[in-house]
């Protein structure tokens, strides 16, 4: 069993989730925030059998687009004494998806005896 952890943009969530569910995958959606831009994103937890990992990764790749995001408040725009230092907005290319595939040592759907 593998756990796919996919950090994706909110704009891609609806389409990706419905494709995954249509294909029989199970997924959990968590609200998350990127450490760098501090923008909302979404983390999907997808528990899959090893032989279905490649197909899940393909669906993620097809569904998640790269986008250019303009950061209007670059991270270093506040000076050492709290003063505002003018910096031009910075563009970042975000996505398609940041994906980790982790070995799930154990998977129990029901912990009752």
107 part of the interface to ligand 2BA, by CB under 6 A = no
Looking at the Cβ atoms of 52 and 95, the one nearer to ligand 2BA is: 95
Site for ligand 2BA in 19-78 (CB under 6 A): 34-37, 39, 41
User: Is the backbone peptide bond immediately before 69 cis, with ω within 30 degrees of 0?
Assistant: no
Name residues whose C-beta falls within 8 Å of residue 8's C-beta, 6 or more positions apart in sequence.
Answer: 16, 41, 42, 43, 44, 60, 64, 95, 96, 97, 98
Looking at the Cβ atoms of 7 and 52, the one nearer to ligand 2BA is: 7
Which residue's CB comes closest to ligand 2BA?
34
Nearest to 24 by CA among 1, 55, 2: 55
Looking at the Cβ atoms of 35 and 82, the one nearer to ligand 2BA is: 35
**How many chain residues are in contact with ligand 2BA, going by CB under 6 A?**
12
98 strand-pairing partners: 7
From the CB of residue 78, how many other CB atoms can be counted at a distance below 10 Å?
Answer: 13
Q: Which residues bind ligand 2BA (CB under 6 A)?
A: 7, 34-37, 39, 41, 92-95, 98
């Amino acid at each position: 069993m593998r756990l796919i952890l996919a950090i994706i943009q909110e704009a891609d969530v609806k389409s990706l989730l419905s494709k995954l569910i249509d294909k029989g995958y199970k997924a959990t959606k968590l609200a998350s925030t990127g450490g760098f831009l501090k923008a909302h994103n979404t983390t999907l937890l997808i528990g899959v059998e090893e032989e279905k990992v490649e197909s899940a990764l393909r669906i993620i790749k097809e569904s998640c687009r790269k986008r250019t995001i303009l950061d209007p408040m670059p991270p270093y725009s506040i000076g050492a004494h709290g003063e505002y230092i003018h910096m031009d907005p910075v563009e970042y290319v975000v996505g398609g998806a940041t994906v980790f595939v982790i070995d799930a040592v154990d998977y129990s759907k029901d912990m009752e005896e």
